[in-house]
Structure 1
């Protein structure tokens, strides 16, 4: 089954930080549904949850109240958990963090079970309390660095870098950097082509569009192919859409990506299939249809050519690797360093 995404809410959180997470992944869900609607009525299986301690409504930084979807649950393994920025009248205090101890402990357990965790601004405090960022560094503005150092003298603060990340932890200095961080996580955990499409919609700078070429023509083609890869995309249609000849398009792709647009389209379909195989229990024949193949044999040939194995073996190895990682996380080990 697909693992879900979650954002944590508690008294004092910024609506902008919570809302950005929900809006970004809501937009992704709509784009996935639109992309695959001609071949699949189920759509994106991964859900986005708004979680709160005890499942109770929370009071936002501006004193408005926000209903949450549900409480914290150790029995549900999540793919990604986001801790938003927040503001308390008295600042970040020992008493305030003590009140969040159930959330902090839950974050540590979810991380040990394989969840990726991101945090923005003061949300980084909760990861520090959970022991998830080792000795740092952590990205914080100068205005917040001094207070953080007093509480966590062993954790190094980087006031110059906006986003810091490793395999399982991602940190953003503030809400203004949150979109870029979350888009990078989409690229890493789901689909870099989807991340590029989201970056384009969100208006991010070209350098922040994960996976997209620095050639505007190739980047535009990548976005179009990502949106049409499951619906019988034709390179001739792409050339007409971009108002260039197919030869020009092929020349730019080879210069920037080292492959033709048609080869890139096949690669997109294999990447989409890999995500489906990892995160869902859908039959392989159904996945082949969803990602754009009209017959299973063609899909299997393309999948084997790009991965060196059949789709069945890929799914088995992914699940075995995930199970091994889960067992490994139960053994005491040094804390990860961001």
Structure 2
């Protein structure tokens, strides 16, 4: 059985993820057989790129894209894939999302499986397909998804989340999680062995790490509370103050309880959580760019006990500090 698959194009979609999805699904049943001198088999996926009106468009990267069809054209899809969508997570939802979301909702009601990559999960949220379900998205859009759609349980650490009855809704994390989604879908509809073959051809594999390994922990809600903004700046410059939350409250001339309430309203985090997040983010930068011993880094970002630092780091990043350093120092420039 060939799975009728639609990949949704739009002016917000990135180029590489969109065409990587089209390429990899078109290769199932063809490329492994070609490399091994075997006859091609019936394609597992009949893939088309569709938009609301089917007209050529310029994508977010300035590439002119020509779709295959409109969303309304036959055949009706068995599977729909929403790629990464580029828009400001701190701004409003683009108006163009509303008709796309309506079409997604109708397609799901008619039996289609709906999937997304990265920020594409937001479109599923607009369609109401994630209400009451677990979902993941790019770490930079996790707060926005939860804020706009409070009925969604946002699993910011997850790479892939199949959800709902029959797993008819599947969300994938950051942009490169398209690889995880493709291997999952190929295994689901064409078998695990076929998925392994595609992984070998394309040199890809499922992510073994949590998204927390990649996240910028301090990317979050923007606000215009000048008092809280000044407290945030102070916290970033005073790691060594023993009781930073009390010190920030004193500087604000508010009670500690009042400061806590105002800080959380502006940032979405309690002050103590924010300070610890800030310290761990600074430690990540030091692990990536210096050879300082981990104990010295712990002291540098305000932890008197290295064991407390190691525990906080693992809890927020999903890896130990030493494993994190090895992972990212491989990108350091080669010295002449």
TM-score (norm 2): 0.55
1:112 aligns with one of 101, 109, 112:
109
Cα distance in 2 for partners of 1:206, 1:180 equals: 5
Provide closer, same or farther for how the CA distance between residues 144 and 43 of structure 1 changes in structure 2, counting only shifts above 3 A: closer
> Are residue 103 (structure 1) and residue 90 (structure 2) matched?
no
- Determine the structure 2 residue equivalent to 1:15: 15
* 1:36 positional shift: 11
* 1:31 positional shift: 2.9
> Are residue 172 (structure 1) and residue 172 (structure 2) matched?
yes
Provide closer, same or farther for how the CA distance between residues 16 and 35 of structure 1 changes in structure 2, counting only shifts above 3 A: closer
Cα distance in 1 for partners of 2:117, 2:161 equals: 11
Contact 1:61 1:88 in 2 (8 A): no
Provide closer, same or farther for how the CA distance between residues 12 and 38 of structure 1 changes in structure 2, counting only shifts above 3 A: closer
Contact 1:162 1:177 in 2 (8 A): yes
- Determine the structure 1 residue equivalent to 2:50: 51
1:147 aligns with one of 140, 144, 148:
144
Cα distance in 2 for partners of 1:38, 1:15 equals: 32
Provide closer, same or farther for how the CA distance between residues 29 and 93 of structure 1 changes in structure 2, counting only shifts above 3 A: farther
* 1:65 positional shift: 1.7
| RMSD of aligned alpha carbons | 2.7
> Are residue 135 (structure 1) and residue 127 (structure 2) matched?
no
Provide closer, same or farther for how the CA distance between residues 65 and 205 of structure 1 changes in structure 2, counting only shifts above 3 A: closer
Q: Equivalences for 1:275-294 in 2 at 5 Å?
A: none
Unaligned runs of 5+ in 2: 209-336
Q: Equivalences for 1:259-270 in 2 at 5 Å?
A: none
- Bigger relative CO (Cα 8 Å, ≥ 6 apart): 1
Instruction: Give per-residue Cα distances to partners, 1:274-296, cap 9 Å, x unaligned.
Output: xxxxxxxxxxxxxxxxxxxxxxx
> Are residue 81 (structure 1) and residue 80 (structure 2) matched?
yes
- Determine the structure 2 residue equivalent to 1:28: 28
Greater shift, 121-130 or 145-154, is seen at 145-154
- Determine the structure 1 residue equivalent to 2:193: 193
Give the secondary structure class of the aligned counterpart of 1:10.
coil
- Determine the structure 1 residue equivalent to 2:159: 162
Contact 2:28 2:44 in 1 (8 A): no
- Determine the structure 2 residue equivalent to 1:126: 123
Instruction: Give per-residue Cα distances to partners, 1:232-254, cap 9 Å, x unaligned.
Output: xxxxxxxxxxxxxxxxxxxxxxx
Instruction: Give per-residue Cα distances to partners, 1:215-265, cap 9 Å, x unaligned.
Output: xxxxxxxxxxxxxxxxxxxxxxxxxxxxxxxxxxxxxxxxxxxxxxxxxxx
TM-score (norm 1): 0.54
Instruction: Give per-residue Cα distances to partners, 1:69-94, cap 9 Å, x unaligned.
Output: 11012642222110000113686623
Contact 2:5 2:80 in 1 (8 A): yes
Give the secondary structure class of the aligned counterpart of 1:122.
helix
* 1:136 positional shift: 3.0
Contact 1:121 1:173 in 2 (8 A): yes
Provide closer, same or farther for how the CA distance between residues 86 and 92 of structure 1 changes in structure 2, counting only shifts above 3 A: farther
Determine which structure has more spread, i.e. the larger CA radius of gyration.
Answer: 2
- Determine the structure 1 residue equivalent to 2:231: none
Give the secondary structure class of the aligned counterpart of 2:61.
coil
Provide closer, same or farther for how the CA distance between residues 22 and 80 of structure 1 changes in structure 2, counting only shifts above 3 A: same
Unaligned runs of 5+ in 1: 209-338
Give the secondary structure class of the aligned counterpart of 1:154.
coil
Cα distance in 2 for partners of 1:196, 1:88 equals: 34
Give the secondary structure class of the aligned counterpart of 2:204.
coil
Cα distance in 2 for partners of 1:76, 1:141 equals: 31
Give the secondary structure class of the aligned counterpart of 2:30.
helix
